[in-house]
């Protein structure tokens, strides 16, 4: 599939930082270029089958920890193009700086919900899933506290009738960036191991999803 950025079609207040657009394009270009260089030089190993035919009857919400979002990129690019989940982003500056055009330029889809809208983000995401039927990648600890599941991901899955598939990625060559949240950045020639757990139904609890992610390491 061709990469693109899809914005939520809900009433919202205008963007307050349009003047940043050229800088945001530059940061996206830098990230996309780095991923395009590193990914082909990375060995991705799926410890278990990642795509399960029996799960194809319903949309899927893939979930992993926020600190692993960048090390996920070689894994996502190793999947067949049609199976790559949509990256969930928002229309704020922090997300636009790295998670919009860079995703599209790598041949994936990004869905940006509107933060300056009266429609809750989880409703916007659920509507996107219901409308498109596409799998998405969500980070259940976004915004902190990190490493702790928040209920929004489960509410999105329930509202859209999706399955939840937890997974983690580990790499033997990486460095970390950030203070509050240490993003894991893979290095060229790294090995990326992908471990996924059994799918959870929308009736799962926060404690269920937390336990499933913790069990993966």
**Predicted local confidence at residue 18, as pLDDT:** 75
pLDDT at 17: 73
Q: Note the pLDDT of residue 1.
A: 56
In this structure, what token pair is assigned to residue 97?
Answer: 């700086």
Q: Angle, to 10 degrees, between the axis of helix 152-160 and the axis of helix 206-216?
A: 110
Kindly report the number of other CB atoms within 10 A of residue 54's CB atom: 6
Check residue 15 and give its pLDDT.
Answer: 76
Q: What is the pLDDT along the chain (217 residues), one digit of tens a residue?
A: 579 999 999 999 987 677 788 899 999 999 999 999 999 999 999 999 999 999 999 999 999 999 999 999 999 999 999 999 999 999 998 899 989 999 999 999 999 999 999 999 999 999 999 999 999 999 999 988 999 999 999 999 999 999 999 999 999 999 998 878 889 999 999 999 999 999 998 789 999 999 999 999 8
Is the Cβ–Cβ distance between 44 and 118 less than 8 Å? no
Contacts of 90 (CB under 8 A, 6+ apart): 112, 113, 114, 115, 121
Give the per-residue pLDDT at 103.
95
Kindly state the tokens that stand for 166: 């937890």
pLDDT score at 34: 94
Alpha carbon of residue 35 to chain centroid: 15
Check whether the bond before 145 is cis (ω within 30° of 0). yes
Tell me the Ramachandran region of residue 79: left when phi exceeds 0, alpha when psi lies from -120 to 50, beta otherwise: beta
| The pLDDT value given to residue 21 | 87
* Burial class for 118, CB neighbours closer than 10 Å (0-12, 13-18, 19+): exposed
Residues 6+ apart with CB under 8 A from 191: 42, 43, 45, 171, 172, 173
Kindly report the pTM of this predicted structure: 0.94
Which pLDDT belongs to residue 16?
Answer: 66
């Amino acid at each position: 599939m061709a990469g693109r950025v899809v914005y939520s079609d809900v009433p919202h207040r205008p963007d307050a930082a349009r003047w940043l657009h050229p800088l945001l394009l530059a940061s996206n270009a830098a990230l996309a270029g780095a991923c395009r260089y590193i990914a082909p030089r990375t060995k991705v190993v799926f410890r278990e089958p990642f795509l399960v035919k029996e799960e194809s009857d319903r949309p899927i919400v893939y979930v992993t920890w926020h600190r692993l979002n960048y090390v996920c990129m070689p894994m996502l690019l190793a999947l067949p193009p049609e199976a790559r989940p949509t990256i969930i982003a928002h229309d704020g500056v922090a997300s636009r700086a790295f998670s919009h055009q860079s995703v599209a330029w790598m041949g994936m889809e990004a869905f940006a919900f509107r933060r300056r809208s009266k429609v809750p983000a989880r409703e916007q995401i659920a509507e996107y899933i219901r409308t498109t039927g596409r799998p998405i990648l969500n980070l259940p600890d976004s915004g902190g506290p990190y490493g702790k599941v928040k209920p929004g991901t489960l509410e999105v899955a329930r509202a859209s009738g999706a399955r939840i598939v937890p997974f983690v990625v580990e790499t033997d060559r990486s460095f970390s960036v950030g203070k509050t949240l240490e993003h894991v950045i893979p290095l060229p020639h790294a090995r990326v191991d992908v471990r996924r757990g059994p799918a959870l139904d929308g009736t799962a609890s926060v404690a269920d999803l937390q336990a499933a992610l913790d069990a993966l390491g």
